[in-house]
Amino acid sequence: MVVTHVPTPTCHSIKPFPPNRHPFTQLFSVSQKLYISLSSLLHLSIYLSMPPNSFSLSKISSSTMQPLTNFFQDYTFLLFTSFFLLLPFLQWWYHHNDKKLPPGSMGWPYLGETLKLYTQNPNSFFSNRQNRYGDIFKTNILGCPCVMISSPEAARTVLVTQAHLFKPTYPPSKEKLIGPEAVFFQQGAYHSMLKKLVQASFLPSTIKHSVSHVEQIVIKMVPSWTNKTINTLQEMKKYAFEVAAISAFGEIKELEMEEIRELYRCLEKGYNSYPLHLPGTSYWKAMKARKHLNESIRRIIERRKVESSKYGGGLLGVLLQARSSPSRSRSTSSRSSSCGEEKKVFMELSDSQVADNLIGVLFAAHDTTASALTWVLKYLHDNSNLLEAVTREQEGIRSKLAMENRGLSWDDTRQMPFTNRVIQETLRSASILSFTFREAVTDVELEGYTIPKGWKVLPLFRSIHHSAHFFPHPEKFDPSRFEVPPRPNTYMPFGNGVHSCPGSELAKLELLVLLHHLTLSYRWEVVGKEDGIQYGPFPVPKHGLPVKIIPRRKIFT
Ligand code: HEM
């Protein structure tokens, strides 16, 4: 089975060259010598071009030196001007050369190593370089110099302890589609204000009231698969969307929901297409859909203001309540650092800021959760002993529910230790977000290297999750490894630090509720023999894992 096979990078791999003898560094020192020689030559040319009696050097201006002197006198002006024109560039070069950049190759001018990254499995790209250069290496992707890191300590520095030195960075085309005011693009005080509000909607104390909603979606969805071949990914996307939409919008009319579903579908298509903003392209249609989504959300906001004192719940309810609540606004930070302006900014949380954050949450919740749901079915299919162990645990829960004549509750989901470990291992093994992006806002020293201002920094979650150093036999799907907690900062399926995922509990709840119903009543057989991973954009089993769903009782009779 190839599902999550990534060549196992050793965490403390030997660097093939000591940093100052690496060919790239050597190239820099050659250029440095070249620069020094060139500037000496230029200085000499200035001396030679002076009147013969102005300096003792005139003595060497003898007949043997005459042709050389004439040459320099002719070209002095040109050389002198070019020197001053080139000076800032040479100084920049010299300055950068001074710094100890991480080892690695920057590839071809502009193209960098982009072709290499896109023509091979991204995991091999990362692990090959990690084996060659170590846990921190530089490269160049699409003209952007990047530093990739796969040491837990360095990842913690970037994401947690020195997070203020690294800002989140996304391609502008994607930012425009999601909405530039969405929480993940922000930094500092404005980010923490938004984050508090988003988090409030997804805390266990809030989502515990959604368990029956989530269960109802599963109870309606799963029986429709009986004896059919389904595309797991597509079905999981529908499930994840429904849960995310309820969490984002709260109580919403079916007609409004249908409109949002339709527009979101168009938006998603454009998001995964080439960002060419010309009439007729998927990107152009997606931008149009995004504008319509703003209008639809504005209409919902207007209705909520009139109809409901609690603004209809969900994240939308929280955002609307927050902007109309002066007492809360005072205690919450904002884009401005001055206390006097905090309230003002809170009151200015506009309709489009609300819309950006609702759409942002849909995006963050949808494909990620669908991918995790798809992987858990794949792993349980391939490990029948684990599937039976999960089923036994769920049978215990079912007996309790039958005795008490009720549906699943939040507390029941806390009584599923084995199923929870299967989910933890799924998230490690599949590493849905293989890495994330940051950008250095200033020159930063990291583990003895300099990351220049403006360079991208990518903590490689997958490489850390697949390091044999932290997770022995990392290619093996083994939930028992989570019987003891993983070493700090080595397990980050939901990120780490200020930008870590606020939806982690909701995502795990979705996995638990689905597994409860599916394992108790059904078994699934993978259709087709093709193993492997596809990326779109998150890793999923090939072709979205087509499976045939068979009622369990049929198998045992
Ligand atoms: C298995 C499913 C999920 C995975 C693997 C996942 C993973 C992540 C990761 C790794 C980050 C941090 C990104 C970074 O540091 O740049 C993140 C951020 C985020 N996630 Fe999730 N996520 C999942 C589900 C969800 C759900 C269900 C929601 C809905 C509430 C959600 C909402 C968000 C938001 C809003 C952020 C941005 C937070 C910020 O910038 O402060 N995610 N997610």
Sheet holding 166-168, edge to edge: 136-141, 144-149, 456-459, 438-440, 166-168
The interface predicted TM-score (ipTM) is 0.99
| 0.95 exceeded by pTM | no
Q: Could you tell me if 511 and 372 are in contact, meaning their C-beta atoms sit under 8 angstroms apart? A: yes
Q: For residue 501, say whether it is annotated as part of any ligand binding site.
A: yes
Whole-number Å distance, alpha carbon 184 to ligand 1 midpoint, is 9
Whole-number Å distance, alpha carbon 33 to ligand 1 midpoint, is 49
| Nearest atom in ligand 1 to 498's CA | 41
Place of tokens 């990326």: 535
Helices (H), 10-100: 23-49, 66-98
Count how many Cα atoms sit within 13 Å of the Cα of residue 161 in the half-sphere of its side chain.
9
CA–CA gap between residue 130 and residue 150 (Å, rounded)? 8
From 501, 508, 512, mutation site for ligand 1 pocket: most ligand atoms within 8 A of C-beta: 501
Place of tokens 């029941």: 412
Cα dihedral sign, 361-364-366-372:
negative
Measured CA distances, 120 to 3, 96, 115, 125, 541 (Å): 16, 31, 8, 7, 17
- Pocket lining for ligand 1, CB < 6 angstroms: 168, 183-184, 195, 198, 202, 360-361, 364-365, 368-369, 372, 432-433, 436, 493-495, 499-503, 506-507
Q: Which pLDDT tens digit goes with each residue over 371-382? A: 999 999 999 999
Per-10-residue mean pLDDT, the chain, length 557: 28 30 38 44 43 38 44 55 60 60 90 82 86 95 92 97 95 92 93 94 94 97 97 98 95 92 95 90 96 95 80 88 61 40 55 95 96 98 98 98 97 98 98 95 96 96 96 97 97 97 98 98 93 84 96 72
CA–CA gap between residue 499 and residue 166 (Å, rounded)? 11
Measured CA distances, 484 to 161, 236, 471 (Å): 25, 30, 12
Which residues, at least 6 apart from 1, have a Cβ–Cβ distance to it below 8 Å?
382, 531
Between helix 351-382 and helix 504-521 the angle, nearest 10°, is 40
Whole-number Å distance, alpha carbon 120 to ligand 1 midpoint, is 27
* Per-residue tokens: 5: 């096979």
Q: Which pLDDT tens digit goes with each residue over 113-161? A: 888 887 777 788 888 999 999 999 999 988 899 999 999 999 999 999 9
φ, ψ for residue 65 (rounded to 5)? -90, -10
From 183, 214, 333, 368, mutation site for ligand 1 pocket: most ligand atoms within 8 A of C-beta: 368
Whole-number Å distance, alpha carbon 248 to ligand 1 midpoint, is 14
Predicted local distance difference test score (pLDDT) of residue 57: 35
CA–CA gap between residue 220 and residue 204 (Å, rounded)? 24
